[in-house]
Chains A and B, each alone.
Chain A
Amino acid sequence: MGNEGIENNFQMRNPQPQVALAGNPNCGKTALFNAITGGRAKVGNYPGVTVERKEGHVLTASGLNLSVLDLPGTYSLDARTPDELITRNILLGIQTNEKNPDVLVAVADATNLERSLGLVFELCLIGKPIVLVLNMMDLAKKRGLELDLEILSQQLGVPVIPTVAVRKNGISELLYQVERLLASESAKRTLLEWKKPTTQEIRQRFAEIDRILALCTRQMPRPTVWTDRMDRVVLHSFFGPILLGLIFAAIFQVIFIWATQPMEWIKSAMNQFGRWVGLWMGPGPLQSLITDGMIAGMGSVLVFLPQILFLFTFILLLEDSGYMSRAAFLMDRLMGKVGLNGRAFIPLLSSFACAIPGVMATRTIENRRDRLITILVAPLMTCSARLPVYSLLIAAFIPNKILWRGIRLQGVVMFLLYVFGVISALLVARVLKGTVLKGKKPLLLMELPTYKWPSPKNIFIGLIERSKLFVRRAGTVILSVSIVLWFLSSYPKPPQSQIPRSESAISYSYAGRIGKAMEPWVKPIGFNWKIAVALIPGFAAREVMVGSLATVYAVEGKSEEPSPEALPKTLSAQLSRDWSLATALSLLVWYVLACQCLSTLAVTRRETGSWKWPAFMLTYMTGLAYLGSFLTYHFAVSLGLG
């Protein structure tokens, strides 16, 4: 039947056919989905649950408009997590408000067929038309695997298509097979009933898989020697954690050293732009808004873009190479001491970028209590939004001296802040596990992918995306907050006679009044009213704190009379003049522990289904931050640092 015939035959029966992609996690389903749909997906949620629903469309060569559904990965139809349950229900046609897929595309990892075919067998039992896709064929061939696809297809009774999804190889053949199946009689089959297999049936299934693989494999893949050799060191019970610590310590050192020059370039570009605005525009409120509000506020955050990019380069390198799974495995022993398993560390690792995807990644945790605990402690992991605040305070108060052989004190302090965040998360998890959310420690069962060279293209795309997000955030939330804060810091303007000599005009403004009202509450932890004012907009985005401080100090600098000493030009210089080291340390501890992110609270509400847990998160984190800052400040003062 030619292409036109396929289209005519099917279109008469079903106007919008749907193809569902199913397979084990990490088999390349999403890469295949992106290759088929061009990466254009409509992302939403399945009704009643927080599992993400990803649907795209493709117009085939014969003009057929197909809907493509990317299902959450599962190892078996015997579901244990919300994700896996959704996949099973959709495949069995019993998911509420979901269409029954017309064709199933079973995606298998060609480098690990023995495990992948387990799900394929179960899918064949459902009764729906299936195409088997062997993805990552390039990696399998590199390792020497030679398969007779015809024999495999005959044995399984389904068409088999080899693909390399990341290079879009095999996609047109796949779509052709899908169209053939849609047009054939098998598309009209009713679903067979699924029941949970017994242990005996599972053994028989895998024996059958072994038999089929023995028939169709002409040459076995070479064992992953390098992966095993490297894992002997990386996963060593003693050397493994040390290596993990050294890798992250090195990352922070490099971030500080390499990012310095690009940050200077951005800083001078911002200053130049501010001077140009001053020349072009006469003095007045609009000039003040642009220079002291927008440029000072937004610019002081944008300057940290190089550090963010270097941090993400390393995170992406570690993820792409396969090391991050090993990090989770290494952390399992430590996580076990607090009652969680290493799988909970994967969302926590994601939280190093941002707590929001970290909270969403907890959907893969089976146990509800463990999932809640991970959600509640994820914001304690130092996210990238804290980096500008840490960098500002470290630059202002920590000397940039070399401790030993190129290791800088500033890099060490940054690393210690990250470690402090991790330790806090683990301690809080321990307390929660022993009190409010008691339960047993679950077993860890996870797959470690083979090591591979990170893809420069993936990393480059990831960095471009990251830059866009950071700049967009600076240009939207941070810019808006800076403008509002400029207004609150500049108005109302006091009558000249009413400003005492010892105070600046800013203390008369709305921001000054709010700050002064809050000052009694924050004085015990070493904060002044300016810090109090800057903390409030920090809820919109953590890094806004930097912009807020820049705006408050810029407005104050303008409103003060010129003094014999030249005012410090940079924000960090102003802070080091104005604050004590004890205050800076107290603020750093506050920032590690406080829940300063409205978006995290919003996503926690969504993932937990009520406001109870976000309220609990805000309460305990604020209390912890206050206590931590209080102790830090007073300890530092007792050492003479106040």
Chain B
Amino acid sequence: MTQETIALSIVVIAFISLGIRFFWLCVAGPLSQKLLKRGRVKWAMALRRRAKQGGAGCDGCR
């Protein structure tokens, strides 16, 4: 495995990590509202439970 392959794999992981963070921070909340309105209560509540609330950006800082 070349250096470039390893480096680019790490970059992909970083991209995915940031994407997941963005999803939980900004998308999950409104998405759970939409799912609730469409009657998908279980999925909506599962999203809400896992969605980062409040101190997500500061990792729960006081």
Contact residues of A with B, CB < 8 Å? 44-45, 281-282, 284-289, 350, 353-354, 356-357, 360, 385, 462, 465-466, 469, 472-473, 476-477, 479-481, 483-484, 486-487, 540-541, 597-603, 605-606, 611
In the bound assembly, the distance between CA atoms of A484 and B22 in angstroms comes to: 14
Interface: B46 (CB within 8 A): no
Question: Which B residues, 12 to 28, have Cβ-Cβ distances below 8 Å to chain A?
Answer: 14-15, 17-18, 21-22, 25-26
How far does the Cβ of A432 sit from chain B's closest Cβ, in whole Å?
23
Contact residues of B with A, CB < 8 Å? 2-4, 6-8, 10-11, 14-15, 17-18, 21-22, 25-26, 29-30, 53-62
Of the candidates A286, A385, A477, A611, the one having the most CB atoms from chain B within 10 angstroms of its own CB is A286
Contacting pair A285 B4 (CB below 8 A): yes
Contacting pair A286 B6 (CB below 8 A): yes
In the bound assembly, the distance between CA atoms of A603 and B29 in angstroms comes to: 11
Given contacts A286-B4, A466-B61, 13 further A-B contacts (CB under 8 A): A286-B7, A287-B3, A289-B11, A353-B62, A354-B55, A356-B57, A357-B54, A472-B59, A477-B21, A481-B14, A483-B11, A487-B11, A605-B29
Known: A360-B54, A469-B59, A484-B14. A602 touches B7 (CB 8 A): no
In the bound assembly, the distance between CA atoms of A289 and B29 in angstroms comes to: 34
In the bound assembly, the distance between CA atoms of A620 and B18 in angstroms comes to: 27
How far does the Cβ of A116 sit from chain B's closest Cβ, in whole Å?
26
Can you name 27 A-B pairs with beta carbons within 8 Å? A45-B53, A285-B8, A286-B6, A289-B11, A356-B54, A356-B55, A357-B62, A360-B55, A466-B61, A472-B59, A476-B21, A476-B59, A477-B21, A480-B17, A483-B10, A484-B18, A598-B25, A598-B57, A599-B25, A599-B55, A602-B29, A602-B56, A603-B54, A603-B55, A605-B29, A606-B29, A606-B53
Contact of B18 among A350, A354, A480 (CB under 8 A): A480
Residues of B within 8 A of A541 (CB): 57
Residues of B within 8 A of A473 (CB): 58-59
In the bound assembly, the distance between CA atoms of A481 and B2 in angstroms comes to: 23
CB-CB nearest in chain B for A383: B58
Chain B interface helix/strand/loop/mixed = helix
Contacting pair B14 A483 (CB below 8 A): yes
Residues of A within 8 A of B53 (CB): 44-45, 606
Contacting pair A289 B10 (CB below 8 A): yes
Contacting pair B15 A284 (CB below 8 A): no
Known: A356-B58, A469-B59. A540 touches B18 (CB 8 A): yes
How far does the Cβ of B21 sit from chain A's closest Cβ, in whole Å?
7
How far does the Cβ of B61 sit from chain A's closest Cβ, in whole Å?
5
In the bound assembly, the distance between CA atoms of A385 and B61 in angstroms comes to: 12
Contacting pair B61 A602 (CB below 8 A): no
In the bound assembly, the distance between CA atoms of A574 and B56 in angstroms comes to: 33
How far does the Cβ of B1 sit from chain A's closest Cβ, in whole Å?
10
How far does the Cβ of A247 sit from chain B's closest Cβ, in whole Å?
21
Known: A286-B7, A289-B7. A356 touches B61 (CB 8 A): yes
Residues of B within 8 A of A469 (CB): 58-61
Contacting pair A599 B56 (CB below 8 A): yes
Residues of A within 8 A of B60 (CB): 469
Residues of B within 8 A of A601 (CB): 26
How far does the Cβ of A548 sit from chain B's closest Cβ, in whole Å?
13
Residues of A within 8 A of B57 (CB): 356, 541, 597-600, 602-603
CB-CB nearest in chain B for A360: B54
Contact of A602 among B3, B14, B26, B62 (CB under 8 A): B26
CB-CB nearest in chain B for A384: B61
Residues of B within 8 A of A484 (CB): 11, 14-15, 18
How far does the Cβ of B23 sit from chain A's closest Cβ, in whole Å?
11
In the bound assembly, the distance between CA atoms of A486 and B53 in angstroms comes to: 30
